[in-house]
Amino acid sequence: MPTVLDWNPTVDPSELVRIVREAMTAGFAAVLPGDCGYVALMNPAAVGTAERLAALAESPAVLTWGPDDPGGLGLRLSTPLRRLLARGWPAPLVVVVPGRAEWPAHWPLPVRERLSTRPARFRCPEHPLFEILAPALEMPLLVVDTFLPTVEAVLDVLEDPSAVAVSAGALPVEGKPTIVTATADGYEISARGLVPAEEIEKLTARIVLFICTGNTCRSPLAEGLAKAMLAERLGCPVDELPRRGVWVLSAGVSAYGDAPAAAEAVAVATELGADLREHYSRAVNAQLLSAADDVIAMTRGHAQALATRFPDAGPKPRLLCGDTDLDDPIGAGLDVYRRCARTIRAHLERFIPEWIGP
């Protein structure tokens, strides 16, 4: 008789995680809530997994939590796909990686044969349980979307008396995951689904993050001017930059959220073809730094603050002005802001070819 447990988001999930881990280690199947109905989680090395896979109509994917997992199977990812796997999980998303996967030799031959009939697929369903469970599992596992709304419906298909299930009640099954297929230098969306194409574009874009103190003067100017310059070089509106592969942001090490840009910064940006009227400050955090490809600080002090507060998050900051700090114009007049903006624009000329090519 399968074991069915109830999911309660207000209760410590550590016991559920322990039970699922023990089930996986023992080779049992687990039925868990996902983002398109329930999913079946299986240990590919276990006896009986091939039979359980045969009972389900959908092809299995490998449960993955980060961009390094495909490399363990001998597969290479382009930079945009590595960004997607680093930023996108968990999500109603399947990432397909063509190439010959090196499935572990100790997995039963029928399982390896089933997986080898099509390119490797990677998946991490969006549900609070997976956010906790996936990093805690220390083995490659297979995940299968059943697109069924209840635990009972999945267990009826599996016919596995040893299965463990976590029920979150009836789940919606109207949507399907977006399927993204890796190409030699990027990706293509091979099936549209619950993650919009625009979101995929943002998740795979190069993120450039400018850092200053309050995120009202220098870093907003750098963000706005960089957007204007990039849009001009790429021949597109500013709001299309993420679709063209670059997403420009800014934040402050001592920022209070939602403060507007300084009036002088707005005025000078307008003179130079940038728009800061809708800018609102944000405080830097580890998540933002970890998502960034380039972190550009205005001063050594900003770089040191990031290193101290977030020692393991994101790339090493670089200074906008090379080896020189950019003075804060706050409290000064328009002429000081104009000099600051001209300095920013001159140094951005060094970075832009790096971000989009010559």
Q: How confident is the model at residue 154 (pLDDT cuts 50, 70, 90)?
A: very high
Tell me how many domains the chain contains.
2
Task: Answer yes or no: 18 catalytic.
Answer: no
Give the CATH number for residue 61: 3.90.870.10
H or E stretch covering 305: helix 300-309
Whole-number pLDDT of residue 184: 83
pLDDT digits (tens, 9 = 90+) for 111-140: 999 999 999 999 999 999 988 888 888 778
Alpha helices (H) along 235-299: 263-271, 286-291
d(CA 170, CA 333) in angstroms, rounded, equals: 61
Provide the residue count of the chain.
Answer: 358
Specify if 42 maps to a domain: yes
69 near 62, Cβ under 8 Å? yes
Catalytic residue selected from 218, 282, 294, 321:
218
Same domain? For 155 and 280 the reply is no
Task: Answer yes or no: 340 catalytic.
Answer: no
Whole-number pLDDT of residue 57: 83
Catalytic residue selected from 293, 325, 327, 328:
328
Q: How confident is the model at residue 103 (pLDDT cuts 50, 70, 90)?
A: very high
H or E stretch covering 114: helix 109-115
pLDDT digits (tens, 9 = 90+) for 299-348: 999 999 999 999 999 999 999 999 999 999 999 999 999 999 999 999 99
Task: Answer yes or no: 328 catalytic.
Answer: yes
Q: How confident is the model at residue 285 (pLDDT cuts 50, 70, 90)?
A: very high
Same domain? For 35 and 94 the reply is yes
Neighbouring C-alpha atoms within 13 Å toward the C-beta of 177: 30
Domain boundary among 138, 167, 194: 194
Specify if 266 maps to a domain: yes
Domain boundary among 159, 194, 229: 194
Catalytic residue selected from 212, 217, 321, 340:
212
Per cent of the chain over pLDDT 90 is: 82
- Helix, strand, coil percentages (3-state) for the chain, rounded to 5, are 40, 20, 40
Report pTM: 0.82
Same domain? For 137 and 213 the reply is no
What are the phi and psi torsion angles at 135 (to 5°)? Answer: -65, -20
Domain boundary among 136, 164, 194: 194
What are the phi and psi torsion angles at 189 (to 5°)? Answer: -85, 110
230 near 352, Cβ under 8 Å? yes
pLDDT digits (tens, 9 = 90+) for 237-275: 999 998 889 999 999 999 988 899 999 999 999 999 999
Same domain? For 154 and 296 the reply is no
